C-alpha cells in the first residue's frame, strides 16, 4: 500500500521535464518543424531549450519558437555557406542527389560538427 501511495504522490509531483531540442540551422524548414515541437512541449509544461548552432547565415535572425527558450551559437564557421553556395537553396533545388554530391554534403556537415565541438571544448577547458 505504501508503494502505491508513493508512486501516486511521485506522479502528481513530477509532471514536467527539462528538454533540449538540438536544431542546426541547415534550413528554415528544419527550424520551423523543430520550433513547433519545442513550442508544443513548452506549452505542455516542460522546460524546453532550443539549441541552434548556426550553419546557414541566412537563418541568423529567424525565430522558430515562441514559447521555448532559444540558445544560438552564431558565427563559428562559414563552411556550410561556402560549401553549399549560400545556404538551403542549393539543397532544395536538387531533384536528385548523386552519391558523390550527398557524400560532399555529409563531409560539410561533419566538418561543421568538428568545428562546433572544438569551440565547445575550448569553452569548457577555459571554465576549469
| pTM: predicted TM-score of the whole model, two decimal places | 0.68
* Beta pairing partners, 17: none
Query: Which tens digits make up the pLDDT trace of 20-73?
Result: 999 988 888 889 999 999 999 999 989 999 999 888 888 888 999 999 999 998
Q: How confident is the model at residue 14 (pLDDT cuts 50, 70, 90)?
A: low
**Of 36, 39, 72, the residue nearest 57 (C-alpha):** 72
Kindly give, in sequence order, each residue whose CB lies less than 8 Å from that of residue 24, ignoring residues fewer than 6 positions away.
Answer: 30, 52, 53, 55, 112
- Ordered by start, the domain boundaries in the chain are 14-126
Amino acid at each position: 500500500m505504501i508503494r502505491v501511495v508513493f508512486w501516486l504522490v511521485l506522479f502528481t509531483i513530477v509532471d514536467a521535464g527539462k528538454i533540449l531540442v538540438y536544431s542546426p540551422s541547415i534550413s528554415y524548414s528544419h527550424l520551423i518543424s523543430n520550433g513547433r515541437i519545442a513550442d508544443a512541449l513548452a506549452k505542455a509544461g516542460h522546460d524546453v531549450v532550443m539549441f541552434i548552432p548556426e550553419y546557414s547565415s541566412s537563418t541568423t535572425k529567424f525565430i522558430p519558437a515562441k514559447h521555448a527558450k532559444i540558445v544560438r551559437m552564431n558565427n563559428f564557421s562559414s563552411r556550410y555557406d561556402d560549401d553549399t553556395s549560400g545556404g538551403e537553396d542549393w539543397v532544395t533545388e536538387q531533384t536528385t542527389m548523386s552519391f558523390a554530391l550527398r557524400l560532399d554534403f555529409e563531409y560539410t556537415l561533419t566538418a561543421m560538427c568538428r568545428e562546433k565541438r572544438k569551440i565547445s571544448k575550448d569553452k569548457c577547458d577555459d571554465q576549469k
